[in-house]
Amino acid sequence: MRADLATKTADTSVRRRSKLLAAAPFAARVAAVIVLIYLLVALFAPLLAPFGEGEVVSEIPYAPPGGAFLLGTDQLGRDQFSRLIYGARNSMGIALATTAISFTLGSLFGIIAATRRGWVDQAISRFVDVIMAIPQLIFALILLSIAGSSIPNLIIIIALLDSTRVFRVARSVAMNVVAMDFIEAARLRGEGLVWIIRREILPNILPTLVAEFGLRFCFAFLTISALSFLGLGIQPPTADWGSMVREASPLIAYGKMSLFIPAVAIAVLTISVNLLVDWFLDKASGLRNER
């Protein structure tokens, strides 16, 4: 019986989501398909790529597209198409891990600051103000120059810097909810802080936080690509779209546009995620999208 009930619940959830997506604007549906394709490419990169990530397959650097090389080769003779596919896995995977950490830290401390108030709120908020006073990209460059450009360092540094933005959003929306009468009623009933956060605050701020997660993913993705372009992000031979743009940049003087392929891949993913976030905010706020 339990298995049947779980199956029915899952089927109902899938049907509800399918109807919701079917009722979405055309732009949101296209964006969802694009994001799904990106995810599938990232997950099955070893199966889709014709060559290895760092495999040198041609003696000719910057070989033109054609034959076995759909997008040509890079300066070392590696297949550009294979590196583009692996770059999806590396760029998106690292950005997702970074966003998950920053989102968890920022949301946790933002809710704590909003519920505890007093010196706890002041101490956390002033520390965040100090961190945010320094431009994020410059701060990341300094820290990576000191700590080294390994992938764990990249994830931790960007996550810590990005969590300050999440903290601001989480604290703001949580403070609006904390001021409501039902929160005071829960306190008068003797409910603990953890219960109030889990049962009263989180359900009311979750749509905003989910939308913020999508935006933070875009910012983390762009920051990692920018750092890789500057040489302090994901290091060779690991494929990354930002470093691929940097490696192909000398070709622009010769009229070759291969550097725009990873740049377009970055732009398309970012725009698609933003379209999904806009649609989700419209649904969460109860607004009708008439487009």
Residue numbers of the domain that contains 268: 26-46+79-285
Q: Is 244 a residue whose pLDDT tops 70?
A: yes
Cα separation, 217 vs 227, whole angstroms:
15
* Residue 287: per-residue pLDDT: 44
Q: Answer whether 0.85 is exceeded by the pTM.
A: no
For residue 196, what pLDDT band results from cuts at 50, 70 and 90? confident
The residues near 239 (Cβ < 8 Å, ≥ 6 apart) are 53, 54, 82, 83, 84, 86, 87, 90
Query: Mean pLDDT over all residues of the chain?
Result: 83
Q: Is 289 a residue whose pLDDT tops 60?
A: no
Residue 207 placed within a domain: yes
Residue 64 placed within a domain: no
Q: Give me the CATH number covering residue 108.
A: 1.10.3720.10
Residue 6 placed within a domain: no
What is the average per-residue pLDDT within 99-105? 92
Three-class secondary structure of residue 56 per DSSP: strand
* Residue 9: per-residue pLDDT: 53
Residue 118 placed within a domain: yes
Residue 72 placed within a domain: no
Cα separation, 234 vs 89, whole angstroms:
12
Residue 230 placed within a domain: yes
Residue 5 placed within a domain: no
- Number of Cβ within a 10 Å radius of residue 197: 19
Residue 92 placed within a domain: yes
Domain count within the chain: 1
Within 69-135, residue ranges assigned H as helices are 80-116, 118-132
For residue 15, what pLDDT band results from cuts at 50, 70 and 90? low
